[in-house]
A and B are shown apart, each in its own frame.
Chain A
Amino acid sequence: MARHVVAPVADIAPGGRHVITVGERRIVVFNLGGEFFALSDRCPHQGGSLCQGLLSGHVESPAPGEYVYARRGEMIRCPWHYWEFDIRTGKSWFDPKRVQLRQFQTHVETGAALQEGPYQAETFPVRVEDHYVVVEA
């Protein structure tokens, strides 16, 4: 498990997403109101790229005709077949135990900490005074 610098915090706005490639894996990082969540960008169904999917909320229903809509912007739908995944957990809604996206730990680190290492895959200059999103993968 290595730590990879994804981007400066300011580059992934709330509601935004950012993809990095780690080896042969693509990882998508979402910003939910200042919290960062990293998931495999490969849908477990047929491999669709989730970072290109629709960001939406979660709807449940206590009875037919009633819609309880919450958590706007916290569900990502695969662009291929619209399977929906909870960004906070990586789990699918329809079969959360068996169908889920791999999750990766994220941190926000200061540029000063990053310069001490060990970190990998920086493709941009790291400035001591900024903050960066880091993913463990």
Chain B
Amino acid sequence: MLAAARPIDCDVHPWLPGTAALHPYLDPFWRDQVVERGIGSLDTQSWPVLSPKSIRADWRDAKGRGADRVELLRAQSLDRLGTDTAILNCLAGVQIQLNQDMAVAFARAVNDWIRAEWLDRDPRLRASIILPTQNIEAAVAEIERLAPDPRFVQVLVLVMGENPLGKRTHWPIFEACVRHRLPLGVHAGSAYRHPQTSVGWTSWYLEEYAANQQAFQSTLASLITEGAFTKFPELRVVFLESGVSWLPSFLWRLSKTWKGVRFEVPWVDRSPFEIVRDQLRLTVQPFDVPTEMVPRLLDQLRGERMLLWASDWPHWQYEGDAALPPGLPEALLPRILRENALETYPRLLQGAMA
């Protein structure tokens, strides 16, 4: 049913099975270090592997793991849904490392693992460059290292990092994104430098998962108020697994207050509503809105170019093959399933590397 639209899935998650999978891609020092120090897994608390949300039950193996081989992605998602192109966003715990040298080594290894064991094995796949944001220079260097490969179509950071994302210390990353026509992907998840909510640490996974929405709001406000969107008008930011329905009400408050205190941020020289429509994109899985409210949400958002389809494989967001959130109007589906992604990710049109 989706296949006729040649859909582009903007958020699927290859799951790193463990550091052993990275051995071929680590230099000898770090390869020995992960063995000697007994670093077996890069799973993080943002996605506890056995949490029901993390991997859908029928997509798990006998040990409860999954999503760690390209064959599984093909069989569980690409072939079933008729996906034309899918963008891999690996959530292995790279950004969480406190040792920045280790973070850089792991980021490089994860990116090379993605390239060799996923991108090289299915021509439908594209990927985000995982960034070691602990070190901005190293993050830029990683973009430069991988940008020549057109199958990397985006860079990826977590929504809860070390500092609010719009801060000017991050701007060299944005500059590199613009130079290489790579959108900045911001995915749910935390580097655990701060509590996952602005009021403190959570007790439950449920709290933490829902708290990502607050983090997306704060990240968006940071990108706007710090002037990142103004400085880099060509920068496209893609919120991944962010939900969507919170956006109009948050923007209402932000834009309304901006009218009164815009002198504080004079570089924000137009309404945040307009900036967001031009430069922000969001994936629709999860969508966080009841079916009957979808038209109203879309009317408030006035953003028919803003939404991107994603299955969020292997996260448990839907049953069977119902990978499209219900309620999206038929007339918008060509945009949401394909055209918006092609506009957002210019490198998709460069095609597969020979």
Contact = CB atoms under 8 A, between A and B. Distances in A.
A73 B303 CA distance: 39
Interface in A50-108: 56, 59-61, 63-68, 77, 81-84, 92-95
Nearest to B271: A94
A59 B271 contact: no
Contact of B262 (A64, A65, A68, A94): A94
**Chain A residues touching B, range:** 10 to 19
B271 A64 contact: no
Main secondary structure, interface of A, reads loop
B259 A60 contact: no
Interface stretch (B1-9, B82-90, B225-233): B225-233
Given A65-B168, A65-B227, A59 B266 contact: yes
Interface residues of B, number: 16
B47 interface: no
Given A64-B168, A67-B266, A94 B227 contact: no
Interface string A23-61: 000000000000000000000000000000000100111
B233 to A, nearest CB: 12
Nearest to A69: B266
Contacts of A66: 267
A93 B227 contact: no
A26 B230 CA distance: 39
B227 A64 contact: yes
Given A56-B263, A82-B260, A93-B262, A61 B269 contact: yes
Contact of A61 (B226, B266, B271): B266
28 contacts: A56-B263, A59-B263, A59-B266, A60-B266, A60-B269, A61-B227, A61-B266, A61-B267, A61-B269, A63-B230, A64-B227, A64-B228, A64-B267, A65-B168, A65-B227, A66-B267, A67-B266, A81-B259, A82-B259, A82-B260, A82-B261, A83-B259, A84-B262, A93-B262, A94-B258, A94-B259, A94-B271, A95-B259
Interface of A: 56, 59-61, 63-68, 77, 81-84, 92-95
